[in-house]
Structure 1
């Protein structure tokens, strides 16, 4: 249990850094009078890729640095992680994502008042579909998360130089964002979406609208399904 506690601290720290830097780049691109306003999707995709790299590097010495409930559940289903650690990891990941989002709000504090677009403000915290079609959105999240979790499992079979794995994972996230992220904003991580969405709901953010809870199940259920399908596919390999 002591090991799980220490590893959960790593999940909390890593997911906090992940969301601080990931939602941070979205805030920089989306909020008015930011110096990076309008930098676009490439900046967001690269920023999220680097955010994952930093999240893994700052927490990997404490544990496996899943930083994602879909990864944790998928790894457990594939027999690469004990089920006893799943709930503690998920709680730590969601808490870290929540606090990371709070720090983004604090960091960009004057810019919320300058930004009148409620959708842009919510998009700084949580994902949303380009075209709202729940079935299609669900499939997009399943495919993106399948790609993520299956690739991560494949990486465990490879022989990376020490310290290189986080860089490859960051490249994977960037690739998913550039290639598959245009439909739903590629949550591919239930904690990354739910924690910041909860922060958006409770924080006194200037000019905010609703938190779009009617969509929130998509990046939770879709991502878990994608992770489980990836585990099943991986177990079929020789």
Structure 2
């Protein structure tokens, strides 16, 4: 496998792990008869922070571990990543999200069958707003992703102990979830939302309703805009 294909594979594998562990904690908290049912938002945000950390450790030795189209776009805009790999990375990330979500469904199969709440079922796959206001929802996702991408660029200017960077990124995701995740569930990652939403659409999930495609553009557009704006501001800083 050549270097580019290895990097593309690493994005698939890393995003798979990201979604498996991230959506896995949502399933644990939301689905009936799970031992973690009702553990709440703090458990979800801790789980997602840990999921990001583990996904970076699993895939980061093979590639840059973006695991997020908004990060890939932002780094390409700043000149820190090849434009020729942007689309292959994004495709790999979405495919990883689909497979990761399928594995969550397999893991919690009896619990999906025991759950009748369609919203809870969809929420284990994809994000949704607490208050549906598309303009506000896009802005929220853009702000969260702006902070994510700008912080990642800033982290590159700091010297962390060897191997510690994934932990810092996980803490960033935890902070974003606790502080900014309430309005929309903080997708801040188009692949993390679109891939599992596709899985929700195609899987024969017991008691599922619709996949809420009318909202699906929000966690795509908002993060991409936020990532691009963060990259634009970064380029204005004299380094």
Fold similarity call, TM over 0.5: yes
Q: CA deviation digits over 1:55-79, x for unaligned, max 9?
A: 0000001000000000000000011
Alignment correspondent of 1:209:
209
Aligned 1:53-72 pairs, distance under 5 A:
53-72=53-72
Kept in 2: contact 1:29–1:44 (CA 8 A): yes
Alignment correspondent of 1:24:
24
Alignment correspondent of 1:220:
220
Alignment correspondent of 2:103:
103
Alignment correspondent of 1:85:
85
Equivalences, count? 238
Alignment correspondent of 1:121:
121
The alpha carbon displacement at 1:162 in A equals 1.1
The alpha carbon displacement at 1:112 in A equals 0.7
2:4 and 2:11 map into 1 onto residues whose CA distance is 10
Kept in 2: contact 1:19–1:192 (CA 8 A): yes
The alpha carbon displacement at 1:2 in A equals 2.9
Alignment correspondent of 1:174:
174
Q: State the TM-score, normalized to the length of structure 2.
A: 0.99
Alignment correspondent of 2:94:
94
2:3 and 2:153 map into 1 onto residues whose CA distance is 22
Kept in 2: contact 1:130–1:182 (CA 8 A): yes
Alignment correspondent of 1:158:
158
The alpha carbon displacement at 1:237 in A equals 1.0
1:233 and 1:41 map into 2 onto residues whose CA distance is 32
Alignment correspondent of 1:136:
136
Q: State the TM-score, normalized to the length of structure 1.
A: 0.99
Query: Is 1:12 aligned with 2:44?
Result: no
5+ residue gaps, structure 1: none
Q: CA deviation digits over 1:80-126, x for unaligned, max 9?
A: 10100101101110011100000000000000111110000000000
Kept in 2: contact 1:4–1:88 (CA 8 A): no
For the aligned residue pairs, the C-alpha RMSD in angstroms reads 0.8
Query: Is 1:51 aligned with 2:23?
Result: no
SS of equivalent residue, structure 1 residue 233: helix
SS of equivalent residue, structure 2 residue 124: helix
The alpha carbon displacement at 1:231 in A equals 0.1
Q: CA deviation digits over 1:154-180, x for unaligned, max 9?
A: 001111111010000000000000000
SS of equivalent residue, structure 1 residue 125: coil
2:201 and 2:45 map into 1 onto residues whose CA distance is 25
Alignment correspondent of 1:149:
149
1:84 and 1:162 map into 2 onto residues whose CA distance is 29
Q: CA deviation digits over 1:26-62, x for unaligned, max 9?
A: 0000000000000000000000000000000000010
